[in-house]
Amino acid sequence: MSVDIATVRRIAHLARIAVEDSEIEKMRTEINAILSFVEQLSEVEVEGVEPMTSVTPMVMKKRADAVTDGGIPDIIVGNAPATEDHFFLVPKVVE
Amino acid sequence: MNAPARNTRLIKGADGDWEVVIGMEVHAQVTSKSKLFSGASTEFGGAPNSHVSLVDAAMPGMLPVINEECVKQAIRTGLGLNARINLKSVFDRKNYFYPDLPQGYQISQYKSPIVGEGEVIVDLPDGESVTIGIERVHLEQDAGKSLHDQHPSMSFVDLNRSGVALMEIVSKPDLRSPDDAKAYVSKLRSILRYLGTCDGNMEEGSLRADVNVSVRKPGAPLGTRCEIKNVNSIRFIGQAIEYEARRQIDILEDGGRIDQETRLFDPGKGETRSMRSKEEAHDYRYFPDPDLLPLEFDQAYVDALKAHLPELPDEKKTRFISGFGLTPYDAGVLVGERETADFFEAVAKGRDAKIAANWVINELAGRLNKEGRDIASSPVSADQLGTILDLIGEGTISGKIAKDLFEIVWAEGGDPRAIVESRGMKQVTDLGAIEKVVDEILAGNPDKVADAKSNPKAIGWFVGQVMKSSGGKANPQAVNDLLKAKLGL
C-alpha cells in the first residue's frame, strides 16, 4: 500500500494541518516508508485470530454515576485565545 | 426492506405510483447524572462551560472512564426493543473537525455496537400494526453547542453537552410513509420513557432524529437516499419526509437523478435544503479508541437488568384489553404515557374500567389537551375522579351533573362528595317529586300530549322539559318510566 500526492493533501486537510506544496513530496515519501514498514505485519498468518484491541488482560474499569467534576468554567476557557461570558469564541461557522 | 408495498401508502406520480422508503437514526440522550466518560453533570441549561470537566474539553493527557449507569441504560433499552445484547462491544473514534468537538473525534461504536438487531411494534392511526426492525443501538458522546447569533463575526461555543451519553437507535428501512415514521418515533419515545432510559424531551434536544429518505417504484431496488439531519419534533419528521419524497419524485420524473447527500429541514419554510459543506466530512476514519478497553459483561449482568424492567407499553396494552375489557384503541391511548396509564389504573381500581377509561380519555385528557397541561399536573386527581364515578354509580348524581361537578373540581378542587352535598347537586330519585313536575308539564302542553300518543318518539321532548325544570337533577330513567306510564306508551 502506498499513497499519492492527492491523498497526502487530503489527509492533511482532514487533520487541519497546513502543508506547503514544497513539503508534500517529502511527506509522501515518509508516509510510504512508514506504510511499507507496517506492511511487514501482513506476512503474519492471522486466519481465525480475533482482532485484538488491547494487550492488557483486564476488563475496563467503570465509574459510578455521580457528579464529581465540572464547575470550573474559568479553567476550561483559561487557554482560549478569545472568550466571552465563559463561552469559547471561534471564527463564525454557519451552515 | 422486503416487506410488501402497502398500497394505501403509495404516492401518486405523473407516471404511476411511487413508494417512499424511510430509515431512521434516533439520537436519545441517556438519562444519567454524569457524562459518559467524565464526572461532569448532564443537567440541561447550566451556565456556559460550567458542566465541563477537563476530559470533556479534551485537555491533553485526560483519559475517559466509562459511566456504568450509561452501560446499564443502553442494555435496558436493548431489552425494551427486544434486541440482542452484545456481551462484548468496542468504542471507536469517529474523526471530524468542528469547533464544538474539542477532541477532534467523537467516541462512538462502529463495528461492534452494544445492542444488535431488535424490533418495535408500531400502531398506526388507521388501526393497523406494523413491526419495524431495529438494526442496532450504540453508545456515543454528544458534541458541544455552537451559537451563531451572538456576534457578527464569531460563533460562541458551550461544551456543557460535550460528552453527554447518547444512544443512537438505528432502524431498518422498514418505514413506508410519514405516518409510519411519526408513529415509530412516538412508540420509541414511549418505550424509552417507560424504561426511564431517556426523558424523550424533544424541545430540549433529548430526542432527535436523522431521517433517511428514498423513493422507488413498488418492487424496484432501493433508490438513492438523502439524509435529513437533526429533525427535532414528530410533526417536523412528517413534514420533512413529505417534502423530501415529493422533491425526489419530481427530480426522477423529470429524468434527473438523486445525489446522495445530507440535507437540513427548515421548519419555517417547510422544506429541506442541501448541506453541501458537510459532504467532505463523511470521511470519518474510524478506528478503535486506544484509550478504552472493549466493553464486556456477562449474561448474568444482562439477566439481572432484565428482571427489573418495568411493564412496557405493549404488555400493559395487552393487560388493559384482557384484564379490563378495553378496546385496543382505548388501551393504546391510555398506555402511550406511563403517567396516563397509572392514572387510569388508579381510577379504575374497584370501579367499572370502561367508564373509567371513557372519563380519563374523553373528559380529562380532552380538558388537559385544551389547556396544554400534562396528566402529572392535572387539577383533578385520580381519587377525585374516582369519587365522581362512584357518585354516578350510586345514582347520587346523573351523568350530566357529573360533568358539571368535574368542572367545579377542576376549577376549585375539593371533595366531590362534599361539593354535591353542599351545592344540592344530588339527583332527585324521589318519585313523588318527579311526578309532580311531570304532571305540571303534561297539563301545560295538551297539544304535545296528543302528538306523543301518535308519535312515541316525541316523548324525548317531555324528558328534556322535565330535566330542564328539575335543573338536571331528576333521575332520567325515572322520568322516562313515569312519562311512558302517563302517556300510555
pLDDT value at residue B398:
81
Name the A residues in 35-74 with CB < 8 Å from any B CB: 53-54, 56, 58-73
Selecting from B67, B69, B293 the residue whose C-beta is nearest the C-beta of A58 gives: B293
Q: Last residue of a domain, which of B241, B276, B305?
A: B305
Residues B344, B297 within the same domain: no
- How close does chain A come to B373, measured CA to CA in Å? 32
Residues B441, B339 within the same domain: no
Residue B359 lies in a domain: yes
Residues B334, B289 within the same domain: no
Residues B24, B105 within the same domain: yes
**Per-residue pLDDT tens for B59-111?**
999 999 999 999 999 999 999 999 999 999 999 999 988 899 999 999 999 99
Nearest residue in A to B88, CA atom: A59
Residue B285 lies in a domain: yes
pLDDT value at residue B303:
98
For residues B42 and B33, what is the distance between their CA atoms, to the nearest angstrom?
6
Higher pLDDT, B430 or A77: A77
pLDDT > 70: what percent of chain B?
96
Distances (CA, A) of B462 to A50, B24, B219: 87, 60, 63
Looking at the predicted structure, is the pLDDT value of residue B121 above 50? Answer: yes
Residues B362, B238 within the same domain: no
Residues B474, B353 within the same domain: no
Nearest residue in A to B291, CA atom: A54
Q: CB A95 to CB B90 under 8 A?
A: no
- How close does chain B come to A7, measured CA to CA in Å? 12
**Per-residue pLDDT tens for B150-176?**
899 999 999 999 999 999 999 999 999
Return the CATH number of the domain spanning residue range A1-41. 1.10.20
Residues B55, B188 within the same domain: yes
For residues B13 and B63, what is the distance between their CA atoms, to the nearest angstrom?
55
Selecting from A66, A68, A90 the residue whose C-beta is nearest the C-beta of B99 gives: A90
For residues B11 and B80, what is the distance between their CA atoms, to the nearest angstrom?
33
For residues B169 and B114, what is the distance between their CA atoms, to the nearest angstrom?
11
Residue B138 lies in a domain: yes
Contacts of B436 (CB under 8 A, 6+ apart): none
What mean pLDDT value characterizes chain B?
91
> Which domain range does residue B435 map to?
431-487
CATH number for the domain spanning B467: value is 1.10.10.410
B100 within 8 A of B165, measured Cβ to Cβ: no
List phi, psi (to 5°) of B49.
55, 25
**Per-residue pLDDT tens for B276-320?**
655 555 689 999 999 999 999 999 999 999 999 999 999 999 999
Residue B66 lies in a domain: yes
Give the mean pLDDT of B208-231: 94
Residues B439, B407 within the same domain: no
Looking at the predicted structure, is the pLDDT value of residue B179 above 80? Answer: yes
Q: CB B41 to CB A67 under 8 A?
A: yes
- How close does chain B come to A26, measured CA to CA in Å? 23
Residues B442, B402 within the same domain: no
Residues B168, B90 within the same domain: yes
Q: CB A54 to CB B39 under 8 A?
A: no
Nearest residue in A to B104, CA atom: A15
Residues of B within 8 A of A12 (CB-CB) are none
Residues B356, B294 within the same domain: no
Residues of B within 8 A of A15 (CB-CB) are 97
Count of domains observed in chain B: 3
Distances (CA, A) of B383 to A84, B37, B270, B390, B468: 52, 44, 44, 10, 30
Looking at the predicted structure, is the pLDDT value of residue B4 above 60? Answer: no
Residues of A within 8 A of B150 (CB-CB) are 84, 87
- How close does chain A come to B236, measured CA to CA in Å? 19
Domain parsing of chain A, residue ranges: 1-41
Residue B1 lies in a domain: no
Residues of A within 8 A of B47 (CB-CB) are 73, 86
Spell out where chain A has E strands. 62-63, 83-84, 87-91
pLDDT value at residue B2:
44
Q: CB B39 to CB A87 under 8 A?
A: no
Residue B190 lies in a domain: yes
Residue B458 lies in a domain: yes
Selecting from B48, B49, B68 the residue whose C-beta is nearest the C-beta of A65 gives: B68
Residues B414, B317 within the same domain: yes
Q: Which of B114, B154, B266 to mutate to test the interface with A (most CBs of A within 10 A)?
A: B154
- How close does chain A come to B13, measured CA to CA in Å? 32
* Burial of residue B330 (number of CB atoms within 10 Å: 0-12, 13-18, 19+): buried
Q: In this predicted structure, which of A50-59, B200-209, B213-222 has the lowest mean pLDDT?
A: A50-59
Q: CB B157 to CB A90 under 8 A?
A: yes
Q: CB B154 to CB A89 under 8 A?
A: yes
pLDDT value at residue B19:
95
pLDDT value at residue B1:
42
Q: Last residue of a domain, which of B257, B285, B305?
A: B305
- How close does chain B come to A22, measured CA to CA in Å? 25
Q: How many alpha carbons lie under 13 Å from residue B264 in its C-beta half-sphere?
A: 12
Residue B186 lies in a domain: yes
Q: Last residue of a domain, which of B393, B422, B451?
A: B422
Residues of A within 8 A of B296 (CB-CB) are 59-60
